[in-house]
Amino acid sequence: MAFIPYPARRGHSRFVRGLTLLACSLAIGAAQAQIQPVSPTAAADAVPGMPERVAACIACHGKEGRATPDGYYPRIAGKPETYLFNQLQNFRDGRRQYPMMNYLLGNLSDDYLHKIAAFFANEHPPYPAPAPSDASAAVLERGKQLVTQGIKERQVPACAACHGVALTGVQPAIPGLLGLPRDYINAQLGAWINGVRKARSPDCMAAIVHKLTPEDINAASSWLSAQPVPHNAAPATSPSAPLPLACGSMEQAGVPKQ
């Protein structure tokens, strides 16, 4: 399947997406009484009843944040806490655009977003086996080369240079790339190309993605989505080498380009 920029994606009919959005809307409405802004001066203790308070999240992201089989909503369980916090902030502050997330998070404080991020970072449900790939051997090999070695002639670093040698992420703010559906990976890279998704400046992902062709993106997403997730996969505690680019999200977390 060729790469299709966000928001045009195959495999999700308007009917299915409509039902999904309706379900999320109902869950958000039911959870509004429980998810309330927390004052920055509130006690730092864990919020009681967090499983109930994140009901709106699991309605779309699946039980324990493990993702849903349609490939439209990503797994958030076990991601680095700072990464999850950054994304919640990005949705709240408009750097990422998705109406349901923008609406749900619009009035929540940083303190509350930290609590949501901590909750899902500590969830570790098992990963399912990867879906069978219909990509050709040549496409998968091209994707493997891009992910593990990059494209030197275009100064595109390997995905593994930032996301970890095992591709399971790096603390405190870089997510893993395994266990994600191809459609979701395509959509997010397309969102960066189209300016729908942004990160704190310097936005290293935007700089990289604009050097890729649609064929590059399709190859990388096809190979990544076909890889099994290692048993007991977890983000690396720190980068194994200096990051190839300055990234605003890591700098904010206290990890500047080395």
Q: Which residues contact 166 (CB under 8 A, 6 or more apart)?
A: 230, 233, 236
Q: What is the 8-class DSSP label of residue 46?
A: P
Domains of the chain: residue spans and CATH: 14-121 (1.10.760.10), 137-252 (1.10.760.10)
Is the model's pLDDT at 254 over the cut of 90?
Answer: no
Tell me the pLDDT tens digit for each residue of 33-56: 444 444 433 433 456 689 999 999
Instruction: Give the mean pLDDT of 194-206.
Output: 92
Q: What is the pLDDT of residue 249?
A: 84
Instruction: Give the mean pLDDT of 156-163.
Output: 97
pTM: 0.80
Q: What is the pLDDT of residue 77?
A: 95
Cβ atoms within 10 Å, residue 101? 20
Distance CA 42, CA 39 (A): 5
Beta strands in 83-190 (DSSP E): none
